[in-house]
Amino acid sequence: MDTCPLLSALFKYSLNLIRIFYVQVAIMIIGIVLGILFMWRPRKVIDIEIAIYRPFNWKIEPISMEKEIRNIRTMGLVVFILALASLVLIYYN
């Protein structure tokens, strides 16, 4: 039996906001980690992608490994910057 339904509703609403905040922060941290991984070990990322497609009987190979590594590093930089910017924006709002 709630003593004040309004307080109970506000408490549940604030808990949901806190959960949403932490989910957003977790997603941004995952983005930062993935961005660093993509920039630091692009060849390993390509090997993981090939391993993921292998059970589906799909053979993938980059036509130019140098271009693929450069593109993955660029993608990692973009993911890192966007995740970091999102983290900073959510912190200051």
For residue 13, tell me if it sits in a domain: no
For residue 80, tell me if it sits in a domain: yes
**């806190």: which residue's tokens?**
18
19-24's contacts with Cβ under 8 Å and 24+ in sequence apart are 21/90, 24/86, 24/90
For residue 57, tell me if it sits in a domain: yes
For residue 6, tell me if it sits in a domain: no
pTM score: 0.74
Please, which residues have CB within 8 angstroms of residue 59's CB and are 6 or more apart in sequence?
Answer: 53
> In terms of residue numbers, what domain contains 48?
28-92
For residue 20, tell me if it sits in a domain: no
Backbone angles phi and psi of 81, in degrees to 5:
-65, -45
For residue 14, tell me if it sits in a domain: no
Domain count within the chain: 1
For residue 2, tell me if it sits in a domain: no
Residue-wise pLDDT tens digits, 31-85: 999 999 999 999 999 999 999 999 999 888 889 999 999 999 999 999 999 999 9
